[in-house]
Chain A
Amino acid sequence: METPHNLSLPQSTAIAEIKDAAVHIKNLNYSFGRGDLCKQVLYDINLTLPRGQIVIMTGPSGSGKTTLLTLIGALRSAQEGSLRVLNQEIVGLSNRQLVEVRRNIGFIFQAHNLFESLTAAQNVEMAVELTGEFATKRDQATAILTQVGLKDRVDYKPDALSGGQKQRVAIARALVNQPRLILADEPTAALDKKSGRDVVTLMQKLAKEQGKTILMVTHDNRILDVADRIINLVDGRLESDETLDTFVTTHDPKVLDRRMFIL
C-alpha cells in the first residue's frame, strides 16, 4: 500500500510546483493577422518560470521575444494553448479581465515612459492609486524611491533626473505594488554601462529579497550574469533553456569575454 503513495509523491510535488509557478506556458502558439496574411510568430512554447527566478530571454530580433513577453504580460490575448500567469489561465480572457491580471505584474520598458509633468513621487503614486491606497500613497512612493536610491530626488521631475535615475524611478513604479512577476524589456538599452549595471543589480537585489520572478528580454550581454536561467528564442521556438553556467560554457568566447570584462 505504501508504494503507490511513495510513487505519487514526486509527481504531486511537481504539480504543486507548477501550480505555484509564476508563469506556466503549455503548447502556446501565436500568430499575427488573419487568413492569407496570417503569420505565425510563436510555435509550441512550453515554459515554466518558478517563483524567485531571474530569467533572461535572448534571441535575434524578430524571434518573437517581445511577443512572448507581451502575451505573458496580458497585453495581448493568446488564443491557442495554455498560458497561466500567477495561477490564472489568461487564454481566452476578456480585455477587462486582462487589465485585472496586469495589475499584479510590474512592467519595465526600454524607455522610462515617465510623465514629464509629474514628479518622481507622483509617477510612482500613479501606480499606488490603482490599489486604492490613497492615504499611504506618498509614504509608499517615498519608501520605494528610497530603496532604489533616490531618496533625495523624490520631488524632482524627470527632466531634472539622469537617464539611470529615470529608469530607477520606472523600476520603483513597477515594484511599488509588490508584484510577484516583473517583466522587463531591454531595461538597460538606453543606459550607459555603469547605470545599466546599477539598474540590474538593483532589480536582482529586490528580486532576491522579496522572492519575485523576473523575466527580462535583453540583448545586453553585459548583464547576463544576474540571470538564474537563460532562455533562447529563435524563429518563434524555444531553442535552449539553460542555467547561467551552461550558457556561459556553451556560448562563444566573445560573449564570455565581454562578461568577464564587466565582472
Chain B
Amino acid sequence: MLPPFSRRTPLAWLNLTHDRRRFVTSLSGVGFAVLLMFLFTGFKNALYDSQVQLINQLNGDIVIINRLKNNMFVPRAFARRRLYQAQAFPGVEAAYPVYLSDVRWKNPITQQARPVRVLAFNLADPVLTLPEVQANLAALQMPNTALIDERARAEVGPREAGIITELADREIRIVGTFRLGTDFASGNGNLIMSDQNFLRYFADRGPEESDRSFATVDIGLIRVSPGVDVDALVAQLQAALPNDVRVMRRSGPGDSLEAQEREYWRDSTNIAFVFSLLTAMSFVVGIILVYQILYTDVADHWAEYATLKAMGYTNRFLFGVVIQEALILSALGFIPGALVGRLLYGGAASVTGLLFQMTVDRVLTLYAMCFVMCLISGAIAVHKVQSADPAEVFS
C-alpha cells in the first residue's frame, strides 16, 4: 500500500515545473544562493584548513616546539638536546628534528625574488610520508637540490623538475615535485631539502640573517611506540623537560599543534567574521529569492488556491503545498549550486594553493542551511496563501 500523499495529485511539483523556463530560472536562483554560501564557507574553511595541512602531513604523534612559537609564523627554534632528552623516555620510538626557514627564491623566468619556506630533515628520518618525497630521497642527497611544491603559487615560476635558479643567492636545482599547498606562513610555496643542504644554504647567510645549525630545531617530531597512551606521555614529557619547550599532540582536538594553529588564526584574524557575514548575507539573499519564487506562484494561482479552499481544502493543505514547493526548490537548487561550487573550489585551489575541502559534513551542513533557507521563505509565503479568501473569488 502506498502512503496517501503519494497517491495525491502532486500539485506542488506540477505547479513548480509547469512553466519550464521559470522553473529553471528558479532553480538557478536557489543554486546561485547555494553557490555563494559554498564559496564563502569554502574560503573560510580553506584559510583554516590550509594552515594545518603541513602539520597533518608530519609523521609523528607528538611535537615539541619552542614555547614562544605560538603559530607557524614565529621563527623560534629550540635546542636539539631537548629531543635527545625526550628520546630517553619509555614509549618514545624515535624523535626527528625538522628545520624550517623562510628565504628568497628567484623566479627563473621573471628573475623576481619571492619568499618561500624551506622544510628540511634528515633523509633517513621518515618525517614526511608523501610518496613523491619518498621516491626522490636519493636525488635529494645530491648537494644543492630540493623538491618544489607543485601547488606553490604561480609567482614562483614553473614548478617542475629540472629548474635551476637561485635560493638565498645560491644556485639550486629542482629534482622533483610534491603536492602540499600554501598557507599564511609558507609565503609563495614550500621547498623540501635534506638537512645537509639546509646547512649549505642557511649556516652562513650574512650579517642580517641569523645563522642556522643543527643545534636548534624548529619542530621536534616524536613517534610513539604502539600501544602507548599518548596523552600520558605528553604530560610526562612536558613535566620532565625544561619550560623553554612545549610538548603537545600533533593533531586532534584539545591541546595539539593543529588546534593551536587553528585557534591562532581564528582569534587573530577576522576570517571567521568576514566570511560568516558573507555566508549569512547569501543566506538572506537566498531567502528573498525563494520567497519571490513562492510568492509569484501563489499570486499567479491565487484564484485557483482560493477555489481549492472553497471546495473544502483546509489552510493546512495549502501550507503543505507551499512548503513542499520550498523543499523541492531547496533540493533541486542545491545540486547545481553544489556542483558549480565544486568546480569553483578546484579553480580557487589551483590559483591560491589553498586547501579547498568539500567534506560530507560540510555539504550536509550547507544543505541544512539551504533547507532552512527555503523553509523560512515558505513560512513567509504561506501568509499569502492564508489570505486567499474563497469568498472573493465570487464577484
Residues of A near any B CB (own CB < 8 A): 66, 69-70, 73, 75-76, 96, 99-100, 102-103, 107, 109-111, 113-118, 122, 125-127, 129-130, 132, 134-135, 137, 173, 185
Contacts and interface: CB of A to CB of B under 8 A. Distances in A.
B310 interface: yes
A126 B9 contact: yes
Nearest to A115: B304
Given A113-B393, A125-B9, A118 B14 contact: yes
Given A115-B301, A115-B304, A73 B14 contact: no
B307 A129 contact: no
Interface string B172-185: 00000000000000
A118 B304 CA distance: 11
6 nearest interchain CB pairs? Answer: A117-B18, A103-B312, A134-B7, A75-B391, A113-B307, A117-B14
Nearest to B303: A113
Contacts of A110: 394
14 contacts: A69-B394, A99-B309, A111-B303, A113-B303, A113-B306, A114-B304, A117-B14, A118-B14, A126-B9, A130-B312, A134-B4, A134-B8, A135-B7, A185-B394
B9 A70 contact: no
A115 B11 contact: yes
A144 to B, nearest CB: 14
A73 B310 contact: yes
B126 to A, nearest CB: 65
B319 to A, nearest CB: 14
B314 interface: yes
Contact of B391 (A76, A100, A137): A76
A134 B9 CA distance: 10
Contacts of A127: 311
B395 A99 contact: no
Given A113-B306, A115-B301, 15 more contacts: A70-B390, A70-B391, A75-B389, A76-B391, A96-B314, A103-B311, A103-B312, A111-B303, A113-B307, A117-B15, A117-B18, A118-B11, A125-B9, A126-B11, A129-B9
Interface of B: 4, 7-9, 11, 14-15, 17-18, 301, 303-304, 306-314, 389-391, 393-395
A102 B18 CA distance: 29
A73 B394 CA distance: 11
A95 to B, nearest CB: 8
A132 B15 CA distance: 22
A17 B394 CA distance: 29
Contact of A115 (B15, B310, B394): B15
Given A113-B303, A115-B304, A130 B18 contact: no
- Chain B, interface SS category: helix
Contact of A100 (B304, B307, B309, B312): B312
A93 to B, nearest CB: 14
A117 B303 CA distance: 14
B143 to A, nearest CB: 76
Contacts of B312: 99-100, 102-103, 130
Interface hub of A102, A107, A115 (most chain B Cβ within 10 A): A115
A115 B307 CA distance: 10
B393 to A, nearest CB: 6
B395 A115 contact: no
A60 B309 CA distance: 28
Contacts of A76: 391
Contacts of A99: 309, 312-314
Contacts of B395: 66, 185
Nearest to B8: A129
A125 B393 CA distance: 21
Nearest to B395: A66
A109 B391 contact: no
A73 B311 CA distance: 10
A173 B304 CA distance: 12
A103 B15 CA distance: 23
B394 A109 contact: yes
Nearest to A159: B18
A109 B393 contact: yes
A75 B390 contact: yes
Contact of B311 (A115, A130, A137): A130
A109 B394 CA distance: 6
A70 B8 contact: no
Contact of B310 (A75, A117, A134): A75
A107 B394 CA distance: 10
